[in-house]
């Protein structure tokens, strides 16, 4: 069965960084969208979709939303991110573990056509910098965030294999783009948002120049999630999201070359908890999402396209 644009899609975490991009893309493609998030939408915000304030940890309420709005498919993005999870591990457990399990279980019991899960490359943990990691490599998460992603993937795969639930997971790298509103990784947005600054500004990236990081633009992530949602079928339950492995020193050089007011200050950290090289051929063999190189996106954002 193909996911048609007239079928309702529920996006959990719809007011998050990726969630907003996904909702925008779904609306542009003609899907009726219901966004569910713990944070309410501003009262004066004009929207063309339904915004619900709710919590994925509340099973009965979540079930009522799915049934009341005749949800056809779900994109599950609601999560407490790593730094916030360290500050509040109890809430993180409730949302990331119990909430994810609730979404998978209710999707199966209410007959949802497909559940697309926004997972993370953090399920792999740290690998040698030159090791190209594929979906067949072992998962060894190093924090509760990655552990929760791995747990939900396992639960979803069991549902898919044992109960016929249509579950598919996308393992996503470091997401960049304007508007992330991140406090701990502000550079992911600043490299785009400050490109037209006419005042001196400093962007702090914590990694050493010779380190590699796997990055992907938020708009490309939205396209990948839509591809998984709308496919007539998926061959696998888990896919690595196509990402770019870029040198931190190259990122500094490109950003500074696009605006002389900007200074990119690098740190001495290693990018732990994620691989630095990735095999995403599984996704590319099945889907035709065309990504735009990050440096090209930066040049466009700076108004310096070649």
Give the angle subtended at the CA of 22 by the CAs of 36 and 67, to the nearest 5°. 35
pLDDT at 17: 96
Q: What burial letters (b/e) apply to 225-250, b meaning 16+ CB within 10 Å?
A: bbbbbbbeebeebbbbbbbbebbbbe
117: left (phi over 0), alpha (psi -120 to 50) or beta: beta
Q: What is the mean pLDDT of residues 126-134?
A: 94
Asked if residues 278 and 132 have their Cβ atoms less than 8 Å apart, the reply is: yes
Q: What is the mean pLDDT of residues 51-73?
A: 91
For the whole model, what pTM was predicted? 0.94
| Residue 254 banded pLDDT, cuts 50, 70, 90 | very high
- How does DSSP classify residue 91? H
pLDDT at 1: 40
pLDDT at 183: 78
Average pLDDT, the chain: 93
Q: What is the mean pLDDT of residues 146-166?
A: 92
Residue spans per domain, the chain: 9-174+217-240, 175-214+244-271+292-301
Share of the chain above pLDDT 90, in %: 82
Per-residue pLDDT of 185-210, as tens digits, reads: 999 999 999 999 999 999 999 999 99
Of the listed ranges 49-53, 118-122, 243-247, 276-280, the least confidently predicted one is: 49-53
- Kindly tell me if the per-residue pLDDT of 226 is higher than 80: yes
pLDDT at 48: 66
- Kindly tell me if the per-residue pLDDT of 242 is higher than 80: yes
Q: What is the mean pLDDT of residues 136-157?
A: 95
Virtual CA dihedral for 224, 228, 231, 234, nearest 10 degrees?
130
CATH of domain 175-214+244-271+292-301: 3.90.25.10
CA distances from 243 to 2, 141, 145, 217, 262 (A): 26, 19, 20, 9, 25
pLDDT at 43: 61
pLDDT at 261: 97
CATH topology of domain 9-174+217-240: Rossmann fold (3.40.50)
| Residue 263 banded pLDDT, cuts 50, 70, 90 | very high
| Residue 262 banded pLDDT, cuts 50, 70, 90 | very high
User: H helices of 73-217, where?
Assistant: 82-87, 89-92, 100-109, 144-158, 187-193
């Amino acid at each position: 069965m193909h996911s048609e644009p007239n079928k309702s899609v529920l996006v959990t975490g719809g007011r998050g960084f990726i969630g907003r991009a996904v909702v925008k893309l779904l609306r542009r493609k003609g899907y009726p969208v219901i966004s569910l998030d713990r944070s309410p939408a501003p009262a004066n915000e004009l929207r063309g979709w339904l915004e619900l304030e709710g919590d994925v940890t509340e099973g009965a309420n979540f079930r009522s939303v799915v049934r009341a709005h005749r949800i056809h498919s779900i994109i599950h993005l609601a999560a407490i991110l790593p730094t916030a999870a360290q500050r509040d591990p109890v809430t993180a457990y409730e949302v990331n573990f119990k909430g994810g399990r609730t979404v998978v279980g209710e999707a199966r019991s209410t007959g949802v056509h497909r559940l697309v899960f926004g997972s993370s490359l953090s399920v792999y943990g740290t690998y040698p910098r030159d090791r190209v990691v594929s979906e067949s490599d072992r998962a060894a998460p190093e924090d509760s965030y990655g552990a929760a992603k791995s747990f939900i993937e396992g639960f979803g795969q069991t549902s898919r294999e044992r109960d016929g639930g249509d579950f598919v997971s996308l393992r996503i790298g470091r997401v960049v783009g304007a508007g992330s509103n991140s406090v701990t990784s502000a550079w992911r947005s600043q490299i785009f948002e400050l490109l037209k600054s006419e005042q001196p500004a400093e962007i702090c990236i914590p990694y050493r120049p010779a380190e590699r990081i796997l990055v992907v633009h938020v708009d490309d992530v939205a396209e990948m999630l839509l591809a998984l949602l709308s496919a007539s079928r998926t061959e696998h339950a888990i896919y690595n999201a196509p990402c770019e492995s870029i040198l931190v020193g190259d990122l500094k050089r490109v950003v500074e070359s696009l605006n002389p007011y900007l200074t990119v200050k690098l740190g001495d950290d290693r990018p732990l908890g994620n691989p630095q090289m990735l095999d995403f051929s599984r996704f590319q063999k099945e889907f035709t999402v065309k990504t735009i190189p990050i440096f090209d996106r930066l040049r466009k954002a700076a108004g310096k396209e070649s």
